[in-house]
Structures are given as structure tokens and as C-alpha cells.
Amino acid sequence: MVHLTVDIGGRPGANCRGFCAYCYFKHAKDVPPFGCRYCLPFLKGCDYCSRGVKEEYAGFLPLRSVAESFLADLQTVMDDVTRITISGGGDPSCYPDFRDLIELLGKLDVPLHIGYTSGKGFDDPAIADFLIANHLTEVSFTVFAADPELRKKWMHDPTPEVSLEVIRRLSKEIEAYAAIVILPGINDGRVLFETLLWLSGIGVKGVILMRFANYPEQGLILDNAPILSGQRVHTVEEFADLMRECAASFPNLRISGTPLYDPLFDSPFALRNMPDHLDHLPRVDKKATIVTGAVASSYIRAVISARGGDASMVIAVEKEIASLITIDDLRSLHLPDLCDVVIIPGYAFVHDGEAEKVLSRDGVYRMVVRGPEVLAADGETSMGMTEGDVLTLEMDGFFALIQLINQYGCPP
């Protein structure tokens, strides 16, 4: 199985026919590098945490350089390529040479996948047939609402009817997933019901609902909050309930939400309710502080205590999403509550050296250990997985976490 990615570059908003009203990259400031798992030990800031996280490309890459890098990648591959994914910071549907790129890739006769598109760049419904003819087999397509007026207003889509017609045609022939960012009072309630009804009618494979974020603690780390001044945001629990309601109302539609909840697998952290699986994890026999986000904390506590660990080892910061923890979140921790070994989320946006300084600033040295990359699949990830995949991912994550506690932790 060889998957290749075609990176077309581009910047969110700038290369999307303007920002959608709710875009997380709106108002993004040029914040200094955060530090991350990829940084060198002596240098805070690498390409990923200073540029990649902001999707900071100068603009779309010219077709020629996209094609050249793709061909260079292709030459390094020994086996047959089984899938090609088009991705970038900008929206593929707005890529100026989109048709040429698709035609070029289509000649390879390999299944194509568009990782994400808003469809705002599609002005002719026939593009759907062209994509299908060129082996597009999977697409994630932002919908917002089935009502073209709402789509026009909130996504700034100049041709909303065409975009909706494109996903309708695609859904008939290929695996099309719809993505919807939910703005309470705008596209939830009746609007959401009608949108799901429409999506279920056209035959989409699944619908990914995303909770809108408007404040730093909800994950806006680019100094860009609020995205929409005065806009209400669902609490995580409200949003999870909404997922349950939607899934119950549309049993023929695969629905899952991020950050919570995937009703099909009771995930993320489906493991917490599976004693047979939990029994296969190692026992926790040492003590270390596990720093995590507000959403994951209670679930991680449940698993750690099921394996004999002390639930108070798990400490939540205010930031809801663990992978978006920054050094400010670590600064907010009450140091006397921490053990001498602190495990931070694998993807936390902090530099290890700086984290150690911040967490030892009371004169007590605390070793910082980076935890596993993932402990659970959020709704966006689990959408394309089986229950077995989800549980394997969680088991692997917790196995690695408990091993770290037992390897680096202090006696209880």
C-alpha cells in the first residue's frame, strides 16, 4: 500500500476565495514558533511549529513545481502506488490549474483522494463528472448547510448552488464525506436537520460535524480569538449530545463529531468501557503526572485507574484539546501538584527544554517526557476506521503511555 501526497500549497482564506466566516485561520497573527516534538533539543522552532501549523505557504505552488515534486516522490517508490491524496493549505477547488492537475494525475490510473475541499472554487457542475472520469474515489467536502443562501453568507461561496450540485453528483459515484462546522443558532437545529436529510438523500458516505471554536481555550492558538465576536459555542457535552441526537435521527447516515463524539464506536476512548481490553494493558506501578487537555482528562483517568494507577496523576489544563497545549498552559499549572516526572501530550506545542524550565521554576527539578502521539481517534479520524482499528489505536496509545509511566515514574 503506497500512498502519495500531492501538496499544492496555498494559504487558508487567501487561497479559498476569501475566508469562511468561521475559519480557524481567520485573524491569525504571526506568532513566534511554539516549539514541538520535531524541534532540535537546543533550538525552539522548526519548520512544523513555526510554519506548518499556520499553513504558512506564500500561496499556491505553480503546477510545474507541484508536478516535479510529485514525480520525484513517484521515482522513489518501489511498489505500485495505491492512492494519491491532493492536499494543501489552500482549497484545492480554488487551485488555478486544478483541471490540468487532475488530468495529469488521472493519467496514472490510481485512485485519487481530495483530503479537503470547500468546493467554493467550483463554478461548473460538470467538474464532478470530470473528477470521476479521472479516478477521484474519495473526497471530504465542506457543506455548512444545504441551504445555498446560508452557504453563500457564511462560507462566502459565490456559486453555492453549483457547489452543492457538485457534491450531489460526486456522492452518487464515489465516497463523499460532508464536513460541517456547527455555529449554534446558525446551522444547528432545524437547519442541521434539513442538511442531514439532504445529505442522506444524495448518498454521502458520512458526515463529520465539527464544533466551532471561538476562544483560546477551545484551541485557537494563533492569537486570533475570537473568530466571530459574540458567537455562542457549544460546550463539549452539548456537542456530544448533538451527535447522539443526529445519529439517532439519521440511522442510515454515518455521523461523527469532533472533538466529541462518535456514536458508532462510543469513541474517543471507547476502551474505558471495555474491561476485557483494559485487562490486556500493563498495570500502572509507578507514579508520574500526566498533563492533558480538559476533554480527554476524565477518560484518561478512567483508564489509568482501571489499571491500578492513581487518578490524581492526570491533570487537565484549561485548553480543551491536548494536542494544542502550549507553554502558557504549562505555566498555569500549580507546581506543588506535580510529580517529579511530567508526561506531556506527544503533539503538545511546547519545546521540551522550555517545558522543563517552566515546570521546574520553583526549584524542584521535574523531568518532562513526551507521551504517545495519540491515545484515541477523534470523530474525524474514526469516521474512516473500523471498531477494531479504533480499539487497536487506543490500546497502542495507552500501552505506550503506561510503559512510560512505569519506565520513568517514581515509586508510588
Residues 191-210 touching ligand SF4, rule: CB under 6 A, are none
The burial class, CB within 10 Å (0-12 / 13-18 / 19+), for 302 is middle
Binding flag, residue 20, ligand SF4 (CB under 6 A): yes
Q: How far apart are CA 387 and CA 273, in angstroms?
A: 14
Could you tell me if 25 and 59 are in contact, meaning their C-beta atoms sit under 8 angstroms apart? no
- Which is nearer to ligand SF4, 91 or 329 (by Cβ)? 91
Binding flag, residue 23, ligand SF4 (CB under 6 A): yes
Q: Looking at 16, 220, 225, 296, which residue binds ligand SF4 (CB under 6 A)?
A: 16
Binding flag, residue 13, ligand SF4 (CB under 6 A): yes
Helix (H) / strand (E) element for 278: namely helix 275-278
Q: How far apart are CA 308 and CA 285, in angstroms?
A: 7
Binding flag, residue 220, ligand SF4 (CB under 6 A): no
Shortest distance in whole angstroms from residue 117 CB to ligand SF4: 8
Binding flag, residue 408, ligand SF4 (CB under 6 A): no
Q: How far apart are CA 185 and CA 143, in angstroms?
A: 17
Binding flag, residue 25, ligand SF4 (CB under 6 A): yes
Shortest distance in whole angstroms from residue 222 CB to ligand SF4: 12
The burial class, CB within 10 Å (0-12 / 13-18 / 19+), for 45 is middle
Q: Looking at 5, 19, 406, 408, which residue binds ligand SF4 (CB under 6 A)?
A: 19
- Which is nearer to ligand SF4, 118 or 171 (by Cβ)? 118
- Which is nearer to ligand SF4, 12 or 257 (by Cβ)? 12
Binding flag, residue 253, ligand SF4 (CB under 6 A): no
Segment interacting with ligand SF4, rule: CB under 6 A, options 15-23, 228-236, 282-290, 384-392: 15-23
Could you tell me if 160 and 209 are in contact, meaning their C-beta atoms sit under 8 angstroms apart? no
Q: Which of 114, 120, 112, 101 is nearest to 12 (CA)?
A: 120
Shortest distance in whole angstroms from residue 233 CB to ligand SF4: 16
Helix (H) / strand (E) element for 412: namely none
Could you tell me if 227 and 26 are in contact, meaning their C-beta atoms sit under 8 angstroms apart? yes
- Which is nearer to ligand SF4, 89 or 293 (by Cβ)? 89
Residues 72-91 touching ligand SF4, rule: CB under 6 A, are 91
Binding flag, residue 222, ligand SF4 (CB under 6 A): no
Give the interface size with ligand SF4 as a residue count (CB under 6 A). Answer: 9
Residues written for the chain: 412
Binding flag, residue 380, ligand SF4 (CB under 6 A): no
The neighbouring-strand residues paired with 238 are none
- Which is nearer to ligand SF4, 91 or 262 (by Cβ)? 91
Residue 201: count other Cβ atoms within 10 Å of its Cβ.
12
Interface map 92-131 toward ligand SF4 (x if CB under 6 A) = --------------------------x-------------
- Which is nearer to ligand SF4, 21 or 315 (by Cβ)? 21
Shortest distance in whole angstroms from residue 121 CB to ligand SF4: 9
In the DSSP assignment, the letter for residue 116 is E
> Which spans in 78-212 are helix H?
98-106, 126-133, 148-155, 160-173, 189-202
- Maximum distance among all Cα pairs of the chain, rounded to whole angstroms: 66
Residue type, 269: F
- Which is nearer to ligand SF4, 16 or 191 (by Cβ)? 16
Residues that bind ligand SF4 (CB under 6 A): 12-13, 16, 19-20, 23, 25, 91, 118
